[in-house]
Amino acid sequence: MSEHIEIYDSTLRDGAQAEGISYSLEDKLLIARRLDQLGVHYIEGGWPNPTNPKDLAFFEQAKDMGLRAKVTAFGSTRRANNAPEDDATLNTLLKADTQSIALFGKSWTLHALEVLRVSLEENVRLIEDSVAYIASHGREVVYDAEHFFDGYKADSSYALETIKAAERGGARILVLCDTNGGTLPSEMARIIEDVKAHIDIDFGIHAHNDSGVGVANSLIAVELGAVQVQGTFNGYGERCGNANLCSIIPNLDLKMERKSIGRDKVQQLMEFSLFLSEVANVYHDHRQPFVGESAFAHKGGAHIDGVMKVAHSFEHIDPECVGNERRFLVSDQSGGATIVSKLKRFLPDIDKGDPLVGKVLERVKMLENQGYQFEAAEGSFELLARREQGLYSDLFSLVNFRTINRKNVGQSEDAEAIVKVSVEEDVFHTVASGDGPVNALDRALRKALEERFPSVRQVHLEDYKVRVLSSGDGTAAKVRVLIESSDGVDNWGTVGVSENVIDASWIALADSLHYKLMKDALAAST
């Protein structure tokens, strides 16, 4: 049993086959640099061939990056009618000039006979002499036994013969691939135990997640002796994705007493996962184990009370071990412990017996019954609490507003907002145009406040989301607007709810500026 497990990353190749993901060359080089810093052992850069100039360019430029990880080119065994030395695929793999080459071949009689349309004997020869040709040029061969588990279930003797052919050809490691992702953990264990009796070199695992067990199958393979785990970060990949390295790595390093990238690097997992989502330009799965924003978020009152007393009563690891953090969510399920934990961010001496706790809890539950949600609206929550506390009053209030939209054929939309707000005894009446009514409203509100409160110029809208709350009501449905704002120093979320999306937007916009002014007032008083 090996204590050291090689992490073979396929985010740039298998991960790029995911629906909705398309890396540019610059993306791939940037991700490769960060993968290397994270400490993976292999970076599979893609399949270099004349029809894929981006991957060819990647391997050319990766040579000069000074990466410690083994950059690996991926490709198939030779074509049936070609001698190895005349095969374009094999020779292009060699031209990629990588230390390691991943070569895949067919393990399943179905694929040999119906996909490649060669005899079973010929398929074995393709595997052995392709591996031998690459190995004869001094390259390390990682042999990927494609569809191995399906092949084994169809004809175990033949599947075993294909990997023994790769072993005879000089492969450094045999990687057993559950390419269709349909093998269950019990099957996986039984098959691997048999494989171990027939091979004399190291083996690895390449699992897909079509049955939802890609991570489980990878960990079982390690328990049975696999020394290499292939996968992708964030689980990117074709169909349901590949085994997720964001889950595999912390399980290996934190729970199974194996070393993959090392515990110090595991602390960077959350940051890397978020980085990858940004570069791939896809939504970051907040429910992802270990590295999702909700992985250590507690909402039930009893859970929160337990965690505050003994953290591991409701947490399987310390969130900081993977670079994540514990969060307590404010909701209609919240109890006093939840509210106390949230209030302690800005009122560190408060305890559960403080009357403010009950007041805030009652207000939160009433608002959430109307459709409000404070989980991503910390700014609105703090405003609510300080208003209930009686130590802060809003510095401006709405008198009225009106928005006007004009849409002419062949022209862009023209939106205008008229806002009247009061500041103490003064009333400010302003007009502004914008790219839509919400943008116009935002500009008009700022215009009204800038003379008296110049710091609102520092506030920028970072994100704007609308959620329909009661779709059965059709166009009369309530909507919730969530706004993320920043002044270049802090970020905060605010929320508004109404049957009118403009009104909901106003509530969230106004709170975003109320929060800024409150923050300034508190800073000035200390």
Higher pLDDT, 235 or 462: 235
For residue 242, CA distances in Å to 11, 55, 73, 238, 462 come to 9, 20, 18, 7, 32
Of 141-155, 244-258, 399-413, the one with minimum mean pLDDT is 399-413
- Give pLDDT, residue 463: 80
Averaged pLDDT of the chain? 91
Q: Which residues of 345-377 are buried (b: 16+ CB within 10 A; e: fewer)?
A: eebeebeeebebbebbbebbeebbeebbbbbbb
Of 199-208, 338-347, 439-448, 450-459, the one with minimum mean pLDDT is 338-347
* The overall pTM is greater than 0.85: no
- Give pLDDT, residue 55: 92
| Residue 324 scores a pLDDT above 80 | yes
| Residue 497 scores a pLDDT above 90 | yes
**pLDDT tens-digit profile of 67-84?**
999 999 999 999 999 999
Of 249-258, 403-412, 486-495, the one with minimum mean pLDDT is 403-412
- Give pLDDT, residue 278: 78
Residue entry with tokens 């928005």: 403
Of 18-27, 140-149, 174-183, the one with minimum mean pLDDT is 18-27
- Give pLDDT, residue 244: 98
> At a CB cut-off of 8 Å and minimum separation 6, what does 66 contact?
none
Higher pLDDT, 43 or 412: 43
Q: What are the strands, taking DSSP E only, across 147-197? A: 173-178
3-class secondary structure, 451: coil
Number of neighbours of residue 516 by Cβ within 10 angstroms: 22
Please state the three-class secondary structure of 294-326 as a single string. Answer: CCCEECCHHHHHHHHHCHHHCCCCCHHHHCCCC
- Give pLDDT, residue 330: 62
3-class secondary structure, 210: coil
pLDDT band at 369 (very low <50, low <70, confident <90, very high): confident
| Residue 460 scores a pLDDT above 80 | yes
Of 7-21, 161-175, 291-305, 379-393, the one with minimum mean pLDDT is 291-305
- Give pLDDT, residue 409: 64
For residue 268, CA distances in Å to 71, 250, 263, 264 come to 21, 11, 9, 8
- Give pLDDT, residue 522: 85
- Give pLDDT, residue 374: 81
* Alpha carbons 127 and 140: distance in angstroms, whole number: 15
* Alpha carbons 250 and 411: distance in angstroms, whole number: 54
**Distance of alpha carbon 273 from its chain centroid, rounded?**
5
Would you state the structure tokens that stand for residue 27, as one six-digit string? 């993306």
pLDDT band at 1 (very low <50, low <70, confident <90, very high): low
- What percent of the chain clears pLDDT 70, i.e. is strictly above it? 94
* Contact indicator for 436, 504 with CB cutoff of 8 Å: no
pLDDT band at 141 (very low <50, low <70, confident <90, very high): very high
- Give pLDDT, residue 474: 55
Domains of the chain: 6-261 (3.20.20.70), 297-389 (no CATH)
Query: Which range has highest mean pLDDT (44-58, 135-149, 299-313, 339-353)?
Result: 135-149
**What's 111's DSSP letter?**
I
* Alpha carbons 427 and 424: distance in angstroms, whole number: 8
| Residue 334 scores a pLDDT above 60 | no
- Give pLDDT, residue 361: 85
